[in-house]
Amino acid sequence: MSYYPYLSEYGNEEATGLVIASVSVNSDEKYELGNLVIKRVQKDKKFDDWDMYNLPNELRGTTNRSGLYSVGLPEGKYQISMLRKVYPLRDYIKVEKESENLTFEIKSGQVTDLGRIIFSSYDYKTYIIGKSTINTDNHELFNIYLENYNHFLKDKKTIKWNRSKADEIINKHAIDNPIGINDILELKNGEIIASTNLGVVLKRLQNRKWKKVFQSTKQASISAIDIMGSHQVIVGDELGFIYTIDTNTGEYASIENSLPKGAIIFISHSGEHNKWFVSVKHNEQATLYTASSIHSKEWEPVRTDLFGRDFMNGDTQIWTLRHPGGFVYASGSRKSIACFNYSRNQWTTNKTPLSRSIISISGSSHHTGMGILTSPIGGLWGITAQTHITYNCGESWIKTDTPYSIKATAPIVLSKNNIIESGAHDGDTGIYSTSDKGKTWQKISGMPVMNIGTWYTENNGLFAVFRAQDAFEVIYNSLDSGNTWNVDLTVARILKK
């Protein structure tokens, strides 16, 4: 734990104060959070050379948009300075100027609990930063992820960070404008549900209007979602919390679970709700567990896969898809595609095309067709990337020779023979379509590369998420297989109503 090095420098435990903080980022960027950097505002002579302090993220390798930090520091006045990103290297979110609402004090022998710090995209290059008015302390997260260090908090006076009017405004802005669409699914009644950051779930009504139906008090990114009933969903977040939500009323219930600590990155269940799978990510590993009930006290591990970023081998992460009768679980570290069928209680596993690195995959719960974008090394899209489709979970692959020299997205199989794909060639971007499994192609749309995510639904067509110039996302919808697109939702504005 980062607490120890500073203790050894500054003497015994009583000679320093302990600061704990957590972070939530409201952004569509997919980076993992690194160090939280604080600087000393009021320095004494003894510590003139110790101006900046890097607080390591205790959740690194577990979460993407959340962080937990703890360190012992000498008494004094400090300010949040920047939040580093793990990837790309040397990138960071910087506090542009000194702000009183980001300044705090540490006192010897006491604990300063900063609560949750919210970093929220304001425009393409700017973040607004403030203290959460909902999560004002970190005792719960400390007990879950740093339980071995609870004795440091015992019998210590805890100082909470005061909230200001500026914090209230920043917190409201972030909650009103959740950024980072993580998943889109279609309910049985035809309504669309989208999971996003800060624990927000959005709902698209049958009149094509969107509204916010759920806001978790944990303010953590929703990283897994599945349908429970005609208007119920179950969600899991990056901090390991699980909820069931009634999308009509907004009522929800927390699910007490016995799963190991970590980010919930996948949830799936049988139609009878008597077989469940949940994947938990922790310390750069993702373990898939199964049980007969979401409330089970005994979860059996099925498999464990590496989860991280490797320049030579690509993203060693997990990709999951809804699939007829079950789901797809694709592993970057194993370079394989695994399909599970609930009725047969059976796995089918095959290698990626030529055992290449996965960049992205696409699929649907309505047919067995899947598309995959791969690279020979490094998981980078471009001129060396290739696209393939399969109708039998990777037992055989069909290469799609699109006109693009730069492959940017996985093909989307709309029906047995109808496939679309986007990319670029000599500055020409757009969407191409084939009706003969990739033998011939025609350009159907000038829409640019679908750069964040694309989802295919049975009754509402295609949804594609783009990043606009102001950093807020725009969701487009196509009802004619990608030929024409209409703006369905601009996340930054519609939710303020």
pLDDT digits (tens, 9 = 90+) for 310-338: 655 556 789 999 999 999 999 998 999 99
How far is 347 from 345, CA to CA, in rounded Å?
7
* Of 417 and 320, the one with more pLDDT: 320
What's the chain's average pLDDT? 85
Domain spans of the chain, in order of start: 3-174, 178-494
Confidence of residue 472 (pLDDT cuts 50, 70, 90): low
With 60 as the cut, is the pLDDT of residue 486 above it?
yes
Confidence of residue 71 (pLDDT cuts 50, 70, 90): confident
Q: Please compute the mean of the pLDDT values over residues 2-31 and round it to a whole number.
A: 65
Look at residues 299, 302, 337 and name the one whose alpha carbon lies nearest to residue 318: 337
Query: How distant, in Å, are the alpha carbons of 199, 299, 414 from that of 258?
Result: 21, 7, 39
* Pairing between β-strand 461-467 and β-strand 453-457 as defined by DSSP bridges: antiparallel
With 80 as the cut, is the pLDDT of residue 45 above it?
no
How far is 282 from 263, CA to CA, in rounded Å?
7
May I ask the CATH architecture of the domain 178-494? 7 Propeller (2.130)
* Of 48 and 163, the one with more pLDDT: 163
Confidence of residue 221 (pLDDT cuts 50, 70, 90): very high
Q: Do domains 3-174 and 178-494 have the same CATH topology?
A: no
Query: How much is the pLDDT for 291?
Result: 98
Query: How much is the pLDDT for 5?
Result: 40
Neighbours of 344 (CB within 10 A): 10
Confidence of residue 376 (pLDDT cuts 50, 70, 90): confident
Q: Encoding tokens for residue 286? A: 């993702």
* Of 200 and 92, the one with more pLDDT: 200
With 70 as the cut, is the pLDDT of residue 262 above it?
yes
* Of 73 and 302, the one with more pLDDT: 302
* Pairing between β-strand 473-478 and β-strand 486-490 as defined by DSSP bridges: antiparallel
- Specify the range with the lowest mean pLDDT, choosing from 336-345, 385-394, 406-415, 471-480: 471-480
With 50 as the cut, is the pLDDT of residue 1 above it?
no
| Contacts of the segment 481-486: beta carbons below 8 A, 24+ positions apart | 481/414, 481/418, 481/420, 481/433, 481/444, 482/412, 482/414, 482/420, 482/431, 482/433, 482/444, 482/445, 482/447, 483/433, 483/444, 483/445, 484/445, 485/445, 485/447
May I ask the CATH architecture of the domain 3-174? Sandwich (2.60)
Contact 108, 16 (CB under 8 A): yes
How far is 9 from 357, CA to CA, in rounded Å?
45
